[in-house]
Structure 1
């Protein structure tokens, strides 16, 4: 079995919920991991938790949304904010 065959098998494993996130940038992985522990956070809360700049968090969230790894909704307390949660 070649290395590429082993990677293909690893990607097809049904128990690997992190597969969609695997090839994303480190910032997106960090945001996903924080959301896994914290459940639901706003973009500013994610920036505080990860110690990443807001622009980097925005980029990470957009990459996570591209692979359908996060779910976003409007905040009930402040409609200007969106709340993000992991959807793996």
Structure 2
């Protein structure tokens, strides 16, 4: 086995473990997590726009992801009525 192959094999389980918290969640939560993986920080309405999911579905997905500790949320400094969501895995 070459050094390159060994490094690739070592990095594969880490990638899988990263998504372990999301693996058994509904498809909507997985989609929201993947969108947050591509985009650093988004509001709920931005996630709904990006995912084409209804706001209610996004809200449910975010609550499930927060319960598992996969997503962090904080208040927006520019608009305190909105929360910003960031992937935590």
TM-score normalised by the chain length of structure 2: 0.83
**1:37-84: CA deviation from partner (whole Å, max 9, x where unpaired):** 001000000000000000000000000011000000000100000000
Residues paired across the two proteins, number: 76
Q: Secondary structure at the match of 1:19?
A: coil
Q: Post-superposition shift, 1:87?
A: 0.1
Structure 1 unaligned blocks of 5 or more: 1-12
Structure 2 equivalent of residue 73 of structure 1 = 74
TM-score scaled by length of structure 1:
0.84
Q: Structure 2 stretches of 5 or more lacking a match?
A: 1-11
Whole-angstrom CA distance in 2 between matches of 1:51 and 1:85: 19
Runs (4+) of structure 1 exceeding 2 A deviation are: none
* CA–CA separation in structure 2 for the residues paired with 1:54 and 1:33: 17
Q: Which residue of 2 aligns with 1:38?
A: 39
RMSD over aligned CA atoms reads: 1.2
SS at match of 1:68: coil
